[in-house]
């Protein structure tokens, strides 16, 4: 499974990229707005830090507007992925951009039928939002299971399932068990993947024994 981080905080991305764990980054208008900086500037900095796909979302909702904004965004760097909403105009823009060789992330997916449409439109990634489904009493991981089942029936579909709206490490583990290609995680959730009390306890015991023995490696 590939790990993307879901943030526009350049400092966070720089720190996480240094770990070697990041395969890409996803952003959205809300995350970029929080930075208080021009979008093109932020995306350019992120693309310089991460070799993998960096999703930059259009703000327009009509086909022509999406293509105009996509042209501006994809000129920033070669690893920019244009993010479009899962709407009729969004899918039409996806098809046009994909035919031009542009990576496209179709976002705001909430049903298997929508995911299938995104794949048919040539999306590089489709982003099902598991946490938001859980919030309204639906089963977010059930959506991932359904999409993966459908996609496996048609090997010619090359769209990768990018699990979004991830709220906990268990979302990541369950998505990985289902074979999802990518999970995009808030920085805090990515860091939670490291944590286990037995790891901390074991390390403390090893260090205590080492100190008591008075040994040195150097």
Give the DSSP letter of residue 75. T
Beta carbons within 8 Å of 142's beta carbon, 6+ residues apart? none
Closest CA to 80 of 45, 32, 114, 112: 45
Integer CA distances (angstroms), 7 to 56, 84, 86, in order: 11, 17, 21
Closest CA to 129 of 28, 18, 14, 10: 28
Longest dimension (CA), the chain: 71
Q: How many structural domains are present in the chain?
A: 1
Whether residue 207 is contained in a domain is answered as: no
pLDDT of residue 114: 98
Tokens 């823009």, located at residue: 93
Whether residue 199 is contained in a domain is answered as: no
Whether residue 166 is contained in a domain is answered as: yes
CATH of the domain at 41: 3.20.20.70
Count of CB atoms within 10 A of residue 77's CB? 16
Whether residue 203 is contained in a domain is answered as: no
Are 108 and 129 in contact by the 8 Å Cβ rule? The answer is yes
Instruction: Supply the range of the domain harboring residue 180.
Output: 2-187
Residues tagged active-site: 83
Whether residue 114 is contained in a domain is answered as: yes
Three-class secondary structure of residue 45 per DSSP: helix
Whether residue 209 is contained in a domain is answered as: no
**φ/ψ bin of 146: left (φ > 0), alpha (ψ from -120 to 50), beta (otherwise):** alpha
* CA-CA-CA-CA torsion sign (143, 86, 97, 92): positive
| Rounded (5°) CA angle 82-85-88 | 115
Whether residue 168 is contained in a domain is answered as: yes
Strands 182-185 and 160-163: parallel
Whether residue 179 is contained in a domain is answered as: yes
Give helix then strand counts, H and E, for the chain.
11, 8
Count of CB atoms within 10 A of residue 119's CB? 21
Taking only the tens place, the pLDDT of each residue in 106-135 is 999 999 999 999 999 999 999 999 999 999
User: Which mean pLDDT values do the consecutive 10-residue runs of the chain (218 residues) have?
Assistant: 97 94 95 93 97 97 98 97 98 98 98 98 98 97 98 96 98 98 97 93 94 90
Closest CA to 48 of 72, 74, 19, 13: 13
């Amino acid at each position: 499974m590939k790990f993307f981080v879901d943030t526009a905080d350049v400092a966070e991305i720089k720190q996480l990229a240094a770990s070697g764990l990041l395969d890409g980054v996803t952003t959205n208008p809300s995350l970029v707005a929080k930075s208080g900086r021009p979008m093109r500037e932020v995306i350019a900095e992120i693309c310089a830090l991460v070799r993998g796909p960096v999703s930059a979302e259009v703000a327009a909702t009509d086909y022509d507007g999406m293509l105009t904004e996509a042209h501006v965004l994809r000129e920033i760097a070669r690893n920019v992925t244009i993010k479009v909403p899962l709407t009729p105009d969004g899918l039409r823009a996806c098809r046009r951009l994909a035919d031009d060789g542009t990576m496209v992330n179709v976002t705001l997916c909430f049903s298997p039928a929508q995911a299938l449409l995104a794949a048919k439109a040539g999306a590089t990634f489709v982003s099902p939002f598991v946490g938001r489904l859980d919030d309204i009493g639906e089963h977010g991981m059930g959506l991932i299971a359904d999409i993966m089942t459908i996609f496996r029936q048609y090997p010619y579909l090359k769209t990768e399932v990018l699990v979004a709206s991830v709220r906990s490490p268990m979302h990541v583990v369950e998505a990985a068990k289902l074979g999802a290609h990518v999970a995009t995680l808030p920085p805090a959730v990515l860091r939670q993947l490291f944590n286990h009390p037995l790891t901390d306890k074991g390390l403390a015991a090893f260090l205590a024994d080492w100190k008591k023995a008075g040994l040195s490696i150097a």
